[in-house]
């Protein structure tokens, strides 16, 4: 299957249209280090090259979502959500170790990059990314934290969220990254029901324009969804007739990893 040109992702194509607010929020989080545990708003504005009011808007958004908290009027420090994400990332190390061989086999079969993701509250964290030797730029990079409502990897996780959690996740405004993003809660609910029924998610351009994604859930002890495996490619390089092959490959890999996760007591 890897010899078929229809599975190749292509090279040299730059992504476009990423959400600049999300990019800047991540830039703010990456400013923290051992020598800089508190950031004043003025310093954030200077380092981002934006007005202080704009920087303060980013800071308030991160604070409202628990990624930052105010530090006695001197600035902002990392908040409890970051600590929780770090805990979940460490918890996922065992799963990552199991997943890497499965991911490499899926790359060999499809010729596409493979992602391992898991949910962390109202966000999705990319735990691992296995490259396919081609230049495909994605919002999902190892360690990246992204929204729950865009992309096959995210929707393969959200579709099996408990009903009460799903209600909470869809209660607030959902970000829209492209025209294809599912940002309407009722429309998204209907789409998630289809994903649960078919057992996998397929997305085109919901997060990164002109990118096709296919994702499937990974289950642990008790059948709970603990992660998702997905592949990505330039959508114009994957004709509709090849999507069932993609789905078969991803679901097979996810089932393989699920079997190992259950055997190892991951849940």
pLDDT tens for 255-266 read 999 999 998 888
N residues, the chain: 267
Give pLDDT, residue 207: 87
Reported confidence tier of residue 237, pLDDT bands at 50, 70, 90: confident
pLDDT of 102 over the 90 cut? yes
Q: Which residue has the higher pLDDT, 227 or 7?
A: 227
Give pLDDT, residue 226: 93
Query: Which residues, at least 6 apart from 239, have a Cβ–Cβ distance to it below 8 Å?
Result: 6
Average pLDDT over the chain, rounded to an integer: 86
Reported confidence tier of residue 144, pLDDT bands at 50, 70, 90: confident
CA distance 225 to 116: 13
- The percent of residues in the chain predicted with pLDDT above 70, rounded, is 88
Rounded to the nearest 10°, the torsion over CA 148, 177, 217, 200 is 130
Give pLDDT, residue 1: 45
Number of C-beta neighbours around residue 109 at 10 A: 20
CA distance 80 to 228: 24
Residue 199 contacts residue 254 (beta carbons within 8 Å): no
CA distance 111 to 119: 26
Residue 63 contacts residue 77 (beta carbons within 8 Å): no
- Which candidate, 90, 95, 231, places its Cα nearest to that of 152? 231
Give pLDDT, residue 246: 96
pLDDT of 239 over the 80 cut? yes
Query: Which residues, at least 6 apart from 148, have a Cβ–Cβ distance to it below 8 Å?
Result: 119, 122, 123, 124, 154, 157, 158, 169
pLDDT of 18 over the 90 cut? no
Domains of the chain, earliest start first:
5-13+86-263 (3.30.450.40), 20-79 (1.10.10.10)
Furthest C-alpha separation in the chain? 60
Give pLDDT, residue 236: 85
Tokens 């800089």 — which residue? Answer: 36
CA distance 136 to 59: 31
CA distance 213 to 202: 6
Convert the pLDDT of each residue in 169-213 to its tens digit: 898 788 898 999 999 999 999 999 999 999 999 999 998 888 999
């Amino acid at each position: 299957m890897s010899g078929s040109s229809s599975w190749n992702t292509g090279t040299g194509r730059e992504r476009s249209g990423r959400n600049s607010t999300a990019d800047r929020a991540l830039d703010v989080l990456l400013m923290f280090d051992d020598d800089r545990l508190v950031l004043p708003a003025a310093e954030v504005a200077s380092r981002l090259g934006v007005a202080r009011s704009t920087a303060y808007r980013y800071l308030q958004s991160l604070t409202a979502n628990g990624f930052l908290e105010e530090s006695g009027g001197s600035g902002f420090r990392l908040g409890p959500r970051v600590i929780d994400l770090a805990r979940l990332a460490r918890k996922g190390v065992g799963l990552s170790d199991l997943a890497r061989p499965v991911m490499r086999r899926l790359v060999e079969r499809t010729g596409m990059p493979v992602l391992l993701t898991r949910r962390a509250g109202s966000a999705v964290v990319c735990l691992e990314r296995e490259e396919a030797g081609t230049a495909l730029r994605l919002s999902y990079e190892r360690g990246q934290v992204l929204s729950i409502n865009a992309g096959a990897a995210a929707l393969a996780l959200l579709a099996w969220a408990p009903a009460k959690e799903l209600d909470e996740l869809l209660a607030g405004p959902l970000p829209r990254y492209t025209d294809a993003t599912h940002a309407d809660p009722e429309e998204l609910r209907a789409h998630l029901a289809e994903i649960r029924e078919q057992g996998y998610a397929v997305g085109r351009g919901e997060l990164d324009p002109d990118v096709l994604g296919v994702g499937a859930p990974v289950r642990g002890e008790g059948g709970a969804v603990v992660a998702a495996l997905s592949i990505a490619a330039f959508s114009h390089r994957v004709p509709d007739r090849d999507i069932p092959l993609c789905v078969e490959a991803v679901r097979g890999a996810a089932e393989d990893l699920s079997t190992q996760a259950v055997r190892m007591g991951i849940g």
